[in-house]
Structure 1
Amino acid sequence: MVIRLSEQWPEVSSDRLLSECVPPPRFSDVRFATYRPDPDEPSQAEALAALTDRAAKLSLPRQTPSVWARLRRKAAVPGKQGIYLDGGFGVGKTHLLASLWHESAGPKMYCTFVELTNLVGALGLRTAVDKLSSYRLICIDEFELDDPGDTMLISRLIGQLVEAGVEFAATSNTLPDKLGEGRFQAVDFLREIQALAAHFDVRRIDGPDYRHRGLPVAPDPWPDEKVEQEAGDRPNASCDHFVDLHRHLAELHPSKYGALLDGIETVAITDLRPLTDENVALRLVVLADRMYDRDLPLLAGGVPLDQLFSPEMLKGGYRKKYLRALSRLIALARAA
């Protein structure tokens, strides 16, 4: 029987949010040894070496600092307690980040930026700091600042956790001192953004998107009837009309989008339409990320995937989000 995502109402506890802060299934087996740097892009090998070195240090037994050492660290000038991988889509940033997590000693945490803000929202800042201060490493994939609230929240969180000795690693498509540009009046929050940037050693990774090397931009969409038939023939497949799905997403907190896909092995969507509403588009981005995390093939009808986001959206402040979503959706459609 075909499952309708638009009819599911998952509930997610804060304990589940915390317990799921590990690399997604797609990256459960990656290691530094399985990363293949492009020989034409030396920055990839340089980033690999930097993270391998950091993992070696983080694999050693954790030393409990003396009271005097903690006081000296608190009084010291803040250093680079994090590493920040900046680069385009499909250059292997997430592969490297997940490899760092796998090869470092715990306690440790891995999450996307959206998952982190959802977690802190569920726990409250004080409880989040209390729970996460014992962690040795926190890896944050897809670091991004979408609004002033996120900027203030994450700036305070990371600042307090750095004081507690937690190390960070992050990936993003935007340099840390440029976060928020084009999305809100970032100049009004320059102090917070600069404070965040000061914690990270930035490593740029260059190269083309490996998912699109020598491949067409997007596969041809299937007729809706074929999408529905194929979904019916596959085990644990969902199938939803695009309008029903995006309306349902509007009624769910994004922290529940992962749970919405529990038990799903294939996602089918009929009558995909060009988007003009930014809110609808951003919700689809989050769903695309959760689908990609779970490596769920996508059966798609309607317009081609590369026509989902309007030309205006692909020129705006969320351009990089939309391009990442397209990259991932197209990869999942090819897998189907």
Structure 2
Amino acid sequence: MTYKSTEPDQLYHEMLEKGELKEDPIQYQVVQKFQKLYQALKEKSDNGQRKLLSKLFSKKQENPHLKGLYIYGDVGRGKSMLMDLFYDLAPGKKRRVHFHAFMLEIHQEMHDWRYMSGDDRIKKFGTKEDDPIPPLAAQIAEHSPLLCFDEFQVTDVTDAMILGRLFQALFDRGVILVLTSNRIPDDLYKDGLNRGLFLPTIDMIKEKLEIIQLDGPTDYRLERMKGMAVYHHPLGEKATKALSESFWKLTDHEVDDRSEVGPEEIEVQGRILHVPVASRGVAVVSFKKMCAAALGAADYLALAWKYHTIIMVGIPKLGPENRNEAKRFVTFIDALYENNVKFLCCAEASPEELYAEGHGHFEFQRTVSRLMEMQSKEYLAKGHAI
């Protein structure tokens, strides 16, 4: 749908009027927080870009008047949806990224830094110091003074050790962070190795960000999927129509309305992965584009982190004659399964008959098992990327 609103509060009410959302007082409290942050960013932007940049990017300059947000709560309550509503309208330079994908980038940048010459460091970052955190933070601040993380969680000891210094450097440069998470800050990296070293980072998050709980009684994502069949076979008009109806139910948009569900692009290791149809965390892809092309685990993980639901069309019967495609499909399903992505599809045969015989049939049985489990109520109730 086309919206007229230019502010989060207005847009939220417009979506209510169009029937895309239901009245939810707890959600609206979060909308008001986003509205306040939007107005503060807009005011800074209106004061002049040069003045804004000098304030945001001055090293070691605190900005006590403008806190970011940390929104936590159970799955399906609308955290990502509300953040996207705000992000789409927020002025100025900004970035919205899944936290896993962001940390992969940081690790890669730090790896590259270690093997750069002093001249290369100066060329890319303007410094040749040994510590990569300050120049990385400066680069992030320059390109993304507003940084929105979806699905924020800390499970890796290396990430935990990096985050404290990186977040401090970002806050020092005035970067505004907005985070969504399924965990309250005090439960981050719970029971993790050397967790005591991470506790100051938790304290920093609580000091620098406004902590908001979004934990209403309704799991909206699961509610939209009630009664929805997710695996359709055989291929044909009936299956295609069912998936089109599911896409509309999940997004409030028609799958063929390219003005509303136009293509999106994901950068993966310097390459661009094209997603032809996407809206509100739901992507539509084809087996041919995903599994016949030279894609791999990194591409599939990027999809799994960005979209909570993926619809795949045109899955053929598999066998030794298209073994490469079958291997990629196995990797694709593994990426989705391990990140609790909801998977809807139309295929030529049932999961048990997709790779019925021949060399590779035995190895494919794990994928059959996962395809079956991904249809269960228990799987559909899981939170994305937890």
The two structures have a TM-score, normalised by structure 1, of 0.60
Q: How does 1:215-234 map to 2 (within 5 A)?
A: 216=226, 219=229, 221-222=231-232
Which residue number corresponds to residue 191 of structure 1? 200
Question: Does the 8 A contact of 1:257 with 1:287 survive in 2?
Answer: no
**Which whole-Å CA distance do the structure 2 matches of 1:322 and 1:159 have between them?**
35
Which residue number corresponds to residue 252 of structure 1? 297
**Which whole-Å CA distance do the structure 1 matches of 2:332 and 2:70 have between them?**
29
Which residue number corresponds to residue 333 of structure 1? none
Q: Give a deviation string over 1:78-116, Cα, whole Å, max 9, x none.
A: 787321111222222112212222222211111111121
**Which whole-Å CA distance do the structure 1 matches of 2:158 and 2:334 have between them?**
17
Q: Give the letter aligned to residue 374 of structure 2.
A: L
Q: Could you tell me how far 1:47 is from its partner in structure 2?
A: 0.6
Q: Could you tell me how far 1:202 is from its partner in structure 2?
A: 0.9
Q: Could you tell me how far 1:136 is from its partner in structure 2?
A: 2.4
Q: Secondary structure at the match of 2:189?
A: coil
Bigger radius of gyration, 1 or 2? 2
**Which whole-Å CA distance do the structure 2 matches of 1:105 and 1:83 have between them?**
16
**Which whole-Å CA distance do the structure 2 matches of 1:114 and 1:239 have between them?**
27
Which residue number corresponds to residue 305 of structure 1? 374
Cα separation, partners in 2 of 1:326 and 1:161, compared to 1, 3 Å = closer
Cα separation, partners in 2 of 1:30 and 1:178, compared to 1, 3 Å = farther
Out of 335, 345, 356, the position equivalent to 1:283 is 335
| Gaps in structure 2 of 5+ consecutive residues | 111-131, 244-283, 318-330, 352-370
Question: Does the 8 A contact of 1:84 with 1:172 survive in 2?
Answer: yes
**Which whole-Å CA distance do the structure 1 matches of 2:175 and 2:149 have between them?**
13
Out of 4, 25, 37, the position equivalent to 1:42 is 25
**How many equivalent residue pairs?**
261
Say if 2:91 is the partner of 1:111.
no
Out of 68, 73, 76, the position equivalent to 1:90 is 76
**Which whole-Å CA distance do the structure 2 matches of 1:30 and 1:184 have between them?**
45
Which residue number corresponds to residue 128 of structure 1? 136
Say if 2:334 is the partner of 1:325.
no
Q: Secondary structure at the match of 2:297?
A: coil
**Which whole-Å CA distance do the structure 2 matches of 1:107 and 1:214 have between them?**
33
Which residue number corresponds to residue 157 of structure 1? 166
Q: Could you tell me how far 1:49 is from its partner in structure 2?
A: 0.8
**Which whole-Å CA distance do the structure 2 matches of 1:286 and 1:269 have between them?**
20
Which residue number corresponds to residue 15 of structure 1? none
Question: Does the 8 A contact of 1:82 with 1:200 survive in 2?
Answer: yes
Which residue number corresponds to residue 146 of structure 1? 155
Q: Give a deviation string over 1:286-314, Cα, whole Å, max 9, x none.
A: 7665xx8xxx95347441425498xxxx8
**Which whole-Å CA distance do the structure 2 matches of 1:147 and 1:31 have between them?**
37
Q: Give the letter aligned to residue 303 of structure 1.
A: M
Q: Give the letter aligned to residue 128 of structure 1.
A: L
Cα separation, partners in 2 of 1:83 and 1:285, compared to 1, 3 Å = farther
Question: Does the 8 A contact of 1:140 with 1:168 survive in 2?
Answer: yes
Question: Does the 8 A contact of 1:84 with 1:203 survive in 2?
Answer: yes
Q: Secondary structure at the match of 2:382?
A: helix
Question: Does the 8 A contact of 2:297 with 2:332 survive in 1?
Answer: no
Cα separation, partners in 2 of 1:174 and 1:204, compared to 1, 3 Å = same
Question: Does the 8 A contact of 1:117 with 1:154 survive in 2?
Answer: no
Question: Does the 8 A contact of 1:254 with 1:286 survive in 2?
Answer: no
Say if 2:312 is the partner of 1:266.
yes
Cα separation, partners in 2 of 1:211 and 1:197, compared to 1, 3 Å = same
CA-atom RMSD, angstroms?
A: 4.7
**Which whole-Å CA distance do the structure 2 matches of 1:59 and 1:31 have between them?**
10
Question: Does the 8 A contact of 2:232 with 2:239 survive in 1?
Answer: no
| Gaps in structure 1 of 5+ consecutive residues | 1-28, 272-278, 315-320, 328-336
Q: Could you tell me how far 1:141 is from its partner in structure 2?
A: 0.9
**Which whole-Å CA distance do the structure 2 matches of 1:255 and 1:214 have between them?**
25
Question: Does the 8 A contact of 2:75 with 2:219 survive in 1?
Answer: yes
Cα separation, partners in 2 of 1:130 and 1:64, compared to 1, 3 Å = same
Q: Could you tell me how far 1:137 is from its partner in structure 2?
A: 0.8
Q: Give the letter aligned to residue 213 of structure 1.
A: E
Share of identical aligned residues, percent? 19
Out of 178, 187, 190, the position equivalent to 2:187 is 178
Q: Could you tell me how far 1:145 is from its partner in structure 2?
A: 0.7
